[in-house]
Structure 1
Amino acid sequence: MNGVDRRTMLTRSAAVVGGAAVAGALGSQAAATAAPAPSPANAAAGAAAGGGSVVKPGDPRYPLLTTGNNQRFVARPDYVKMVRSTADAEQALRDAVRAGKRVSLRSGGHCFADFAAHPETEVILDFSEMTHVGYDPAFRAFVVEPGARLMNVYEALYKGWGVTVPGGICYSVGAGGHIAGGGYGLLSRAHGLVVDHLYAVEVVVTDGKGGVRTIVATREKNDPNRDLWWAHTGGGGGNFGLVTRYWFRSPDAKGTEPSRQLISPPSTVLVSAVDFPWEQLTEAKFARLLKNFGAWHAANSAPDSPYRHLSSLFNVSSKAHGSLGMFTQVDATVPNARKLLDDYLAAITAGTGVTPKALTRPTGELPAMPQFAEPKTLPWLQATRLVGTNNPTITNPTSRGGHKSAYMKRNFSDHQIATLYRYMSRPDFTNPDTMLVLFSFGGQVNAAAPDATANAQRSSIFKMCFQTFWEDEREDGFYLGWLRDLYEDFFSATGGVPLIDDNTDGCYINYPDRDITDPHRNRSGVPWTTLYYKDNYPRLQQVKKRYDPSDFFRHSMSVKPAR
């Protein structure tokens, strides 16, 4: 770009984006080609003009920037490079490649594993200052930089154009990793995954011989770099290069009006928040409550189900917390919205004898919401702020955490529920910040073919996240041991992990768990890569071989190049 700031070019509605010429008129399906890399001199000039800081040991910012949201993982790099532009990213990568430095990437949000902060890290490239969200007329698409937090993405898209992406509820998640891993949220049953609306991605890559270049890859069938786009639709972050920009346009978008290029959220939603007190629960009632949740989702998760407009988050918290919390949202503009919600709530409690109470204390992602014991109608963005900006357990910057995931295709087995009850009610377990999160899935998520995107799990009915949080490093062994024992007992029939079979559909790469790579913990004989990527892993390996042949971008669960 000859030293011209790329964000400025977008602001001016440039007809050339990321160095890739757009073929044809704005209304055509344009094909993007490899973006020519700036010369080292120009890249250095661009970095000098608007480049981010280099933070080294001794800088007061260093301790903050060498760990993430999960305090279990800390790095001691030679330096942290704050990246502010594509040119800045190119130069930062070129410097690290020439120096032979081991690089970690971070968009600035969460990471449940040690991908961004680990002992072998020599350089952290931090994209948290790249936060631009806007509209790009050249691609008829909305551009999102990787450091933008999800709440800021929702605010910018909705206030500016009345559109959104069906992303997650935790406001502090960075777009960079969320998107690459195939993000989901409360609108996914109605509109699919975030990556189902991904049109293009800009990636800075290295050829294994010291060369660095920027590529814009689109979903166009004739794009020679289409596989690089595909790899970022669920292939996971930190695998192929430095993502500096995403573009979003829904597959069925028409015309050139920006507000028609991406999905619109409901203008209003019905919101319910209730608690199921542990004091009301016997083991039989606990089992019935969870079986009801599973049965409802098994019956109502088809892509065309009228219930695709309803999504629920159910925190099955430990007995030490005092209650199980459930948040439900339904599009208030669809016919019979209140009946859909009432019927759902009745189905969950049917036969239990449990009386739902107001949600009076935070639980996991959910803040206290006593005012929604009786459902209320809210503007969509207001409801999104309600859940997304006040989740103290998940966003506690001093906490340590353990996380494990599974996709469920059928209801719980009796053994699974008995196991969960035993661990969650164990007398010696006194941590209230512990839960199994059950999240509505299916609907339009399951309308896509498993190989349409790198995210292959397209037949599940709900998703699970086993998680616990604590602050004292000395308690790591206890909490990680408890979590491992629960998970491996829960899936004892299949070697301690959720297999790819009629009951489960593996694991979610945005909830990475290194234990799945350990044959002592994963006793199924099925490689961790299959559990996370199913049949898509060999194709991801081919993409890796083409765009990162030397395996420069790697972490503890990274994609390996095909041999």
Structure 2
Amino acid sequence: MSQNRAGLHRRRFLIGAAGVGGAAALGLDGTASAADPAAADAVPALATVGAVTVTSADQQYPDLVRALNARYVAKPESVRMVDAPSQVAPIVQEAVKGNKRLTIRSGGHCLEDFVYNSSTQIVLDMSKMNSVYYYSQLNAVAVEAGARLLDVYEKLYSCYGITIPGGICYSVGVGGHVAGGGWGMLVRRNGLVVDHLYAVEVVTVAADGSVKTVIATREATDPNRDLWWAHTGGGGGTFGVVTRYFFRSPDATGTDPKGLLPKPPAEVLFSAVSWAWSDLTQDEFTRLIQNYASWHVTNIGANSPTRFLTSFLLLNHRSNGQIGLVTQVDATAPDARKLLDDYLAYMSAGITTDAGALTQPMGEMSAMPQFAEPRRMPWLQATRFSSTTNPLLNDPTLRAEYKSAYMKATFPKAQADALYKHLTRTDIDNPKINIQLTPYGGRVNALSDTDTACAHRGAAFKMLWSVLWNDPAEDAKYIAWTRESYAETYADTGGVPVPNAVTDGCYVNYPDADLNDPAYNKSAVPWHDLYFKGNYAKLQQVKKKYDPRDFFRHTQSVRLPAA
């Protein structure tokens, strides 16, 4: 059998296979040693390319040493491409033995330089380790860490009619997305992706330098349950190398894969509207953002009938010409069209001009004039559309800076004034400057801050500063705008959104190294408490147990506890 035909056969097998034999090779403690890599595979590898080493002598090297954000390029000794879980542990063992600085890539969307930086010696690239299949030993759906989100959605839905409520962007890899507590268009309807995580397979490094592969589940009796918990919001690249996630909803019954995870809406209503900047006074701008905030604060409840609606308010710089609102509603929910119409009316209250078509690209979204009047379409079609409208994801010159905040209440006047001031500054002319208001609440609110490592269950919505440009000569200008607008918005709390009655910290999957720097974080709240709040001490204990050598580390990885 040729390699291509064999690889195709393997992929077909994995989608529908029961995953026979693999878990039986694991020890009773749920671990496998690096000396027995087959034990970590858990699915017969009928044909793989195998672990491949790429160095600077190879033509493809320049393509494999850069992040999505062109600001981050590394010069590692090698890039190790893997396409099966069993290939990971030997590479980790080699790096430990050689005292080599190893970093991990799944999809390449890390917003900081955690993977690609000057200290990186080996990049472990798992982007080709991307299979999705039913795994009978855990009665769960296995997703390898390099799988891209849209591929996961298409496989799960096409084969089983189910999904995980993960992110929007099609090319995000699940490796870091899940570990940080990923969310997406179904967040209010079905919660966070980690709310459906049953188990995680992690390659770890012990104090003596030995490497093991551990499968940790959410079962109360599992001695490794703390490692599962750490991967439900503790962030990526900090406890070990995730090779696979296993998904099964807590309320799932039976062994048919079709019943193990949520069914997405059969159809959705999709809407995209905008308001012209030229038509908005400062008072109307403030009313618009307060409308969004107050709706989400009011409708935060886990069982709210509004949980079937997800909406994004895109606050572009004035040079864009428009502010956008993109909304999706489960069309099968009770009174779905009324829910959407009522929401759009609520958002327009106090605005003297009517909303029109969204005709300008907005940050990572394309223009969507065809949705000025809501359209009904199958869920997978809508998901493909919203996932792939981003024209920048394939732009090799893309440069960016990001910041985040969780919000628990409406905007104080000082915050609203600061947002308006910086989005209308005339010394900046960049239509790709964008502050996104995105939803939380609904089923996210069904769990407590300690049930998983995600510590922001009480937030109503969150914010993402997304500043994009192409010319390296403009780095300083746009980084400065991002820092200045963020610092002034949260000036009353030291330049960052500290956990209090209004704000609730930051999202670990939008990492921001400035939070470590007292020049930018002038609050008394350290970076790790902005991300993890009261869960940080427990995360440190997990770090001590599974990575006592601090082998897996980056600028914002969980630190070992003080001796």
Mapped contact 1:150–1:172 kept (Cα < 8 A): yes
Question: Matched residues in 2 for 1:391 and 1:385: separation?
Answer: 11
Deviations 1:231-269 (A, max 9, x none): 110110101111110000000001122111100000001
Matches within 5 A, 1:28-427: 33-39=29-35, 50-393=49-392, 396-427=395-426
Q: How many Å separate the matches in 2 of 1:48 and 1:305?
A: 48
Q: Tell me the distance in 2 between the aligned counterparts of 1:370 and 1:558.
A: 42
Provide the rounded CA distance (Å) in 1 between the counterparts of 2:471 and 2:139: 49
Classify 1:167/1:43 alpha carbon distance in 2 versus 1 (closer, same or farther; 3 Å): closer
SS in 1 for 2:137: coil
Task: Tell whether the 8 Å contact from 1:314 to 1:439 is kept in structure 2 after alignment.
Answer: yes
Number of aligned positions between the proteins: 550
Cα distance change, pair 43–377 in 1 and its aligned pair in 2 (3 A)? closer
Q: Is the CA contact 2:19–2:134 (under 8 Å) kept in the aligned structure 1?
A: no
Q: Report SS of the residue matched to 2:474.
A: helix
For 2:546 and 2:406, how far apart are their aligned partners in 1? 30
Q: 1:389/1:48 Cα in 2 relative to 1: closer, same or farther (>3 Å)? A: closer
TM-score under structure 1 normalisation?
0.94
Equivalent position amino acid for 1:127 in 2: M
One-letter identity of the residue aligned with 2:247: F
- When the two chains are superposed, the root-mean-square deviation of aligned CA atoms in Å is 2.1
Q: Secondary structure at the match of 1:138?
A: helix
2: distance between equivalents of 1:136 and 1:431?
Answer: 48
| Aligned residue type for 2:537 | P
Q: 1:44 to 1:372 in 2, by over 3 A?
A: closer
Q: What do the CA deviations read for 1:266-293 (whole angstroms, capped 9, x no partner)?
A: 0001111011111111111111111111
Residues 94-130 of structure 1 deviation map (CA, whole Å, 9 limit, x = unaligned): 1111111001111023010011111111111000001
Deviation at 1:417, TM superposition (A): 1.3
Deviation at 1:16, TM superposition (A): 4.2
- Aligned CA distance change for structure 1 residues 433 and 393 (closer, same or farther; 3 Å): farther
Worse overlay, 540-549 or 135-144: 135-144
User: Structure 2: how far apart are the matches of 1:15 and 1:384?
Assistant: 32
Shift of 1:20: 6.0
Give 1:351 deviation, angstroms.
Answer: 1.1
Distance 1:393 1:317, change over 3 A: farther
What one-letter code is carried by the residue in structure 2 that aligns with 1:244? T
3-state SS of the aligned residue for 1:343?
Answer: helix
Return closer, same or farther for 1:41/1:227 CA change in 2, 3 Å cut-off.
closer
Unaligned runs of 5+ in 1: 23-31
Q: Indicate the SS of the match to 2:318.
A: coil
Task: Give, in whole Å, the separation in 2 of the partners of 1:42 and 1:451.
Answer: 35
Q: How big is the shift at 1:396?
A: 3.0
Which of 8, 16, 19 pairs up with 1:14?
19
Distance in 2 of aligned mates of 1:434 and 1:47: 47
Checking the alignment, whether the CA contact within 8 Å between 1:40 and 1:91 is kept in structure 2 is no
Tell me the SS of whatever aligns to 1:314: strand
What is the CA distance between 1:393 and its match in structure 2? 3.5
Change (3 A) 1:489 1:320: same
Shift in alpha-carbon separation, 1:43–1:75, aligned structure 2, 3 A? farther
* Equivalent residues of 1:19, 1:36 under 8 A apart: no
- What residue number does 2:3 align with? none
* Offset of residue 487 of structure 1: 0.2
Q: Trace 1:480-491 onto structure 2 (pairs within 5 A).
A: 480-491=479-490
Give the % identical residues: 49
Alignment-derived partner of residue 443 in structure 1: 442
User: Structure 1 pair 286/59, CA: closer, same or farther in 2 (3 Å)?
Assistant: same
Conservation of the 8 A alpha-carbon contact between 1:43 and 1:91:
no
Deviations 1:305-355 (A, max 9, x none): 111100001110001111011110011101111110000000001011121
Shift of 1:153: 0.6
Contact residue 133 and residue 144 of structure 1 kept, 8 A: yes
**Is the Cα–Cα contact under 8 Å of residues 103 and 125 in structure 1 kept in the other structure?**
yes
Task: Specify the SS of the correspondent of 2:320.
Answer: coil
Which whole-Å CA distance do the structure 1 matches of 2:299 and 2:453 have between them?
A: 25
Please give the alpha-carbon distance, in whole angstroms, between the structure 2 residues aligned to 1:185 and 1:12.
28
Q: Is the 8 A contact 2:408 2:459 kept in 1?
A: yes
Q: Which amino acid aligns with 2:398?
A: S
Unpaired segments ≥5 residues, structure 2? 1-6
Q: Is the 8 A contact 2:32 2:39 kept in 1?
A: no
Return the alpha-carbon distance in structure 2 between the equivalents of residues 375 and 491 of structure 1.
Answer: 36
Contact conserved, 1:10 with 1:17, CA < 8 A, in 2?
A: no
By how many angstroms is 1:497 displaced? 0.3
Instruction: Using the TM superposition, give the Cα deviation of residue 525 of structure 1 relative to its aligned residue in structure 2, in angstroms.
Output: 1.3
Amino acid at match of 2:436: V
Q: Alpha carbons of 1:47 and 1:206: their partners in 2 closer, same or farther (altered >3 Å)?
A: farther
Partner residue in 1 for 2:4: none
Q: Which position in structure 2 is the counterpart of 1:559?
A: 558
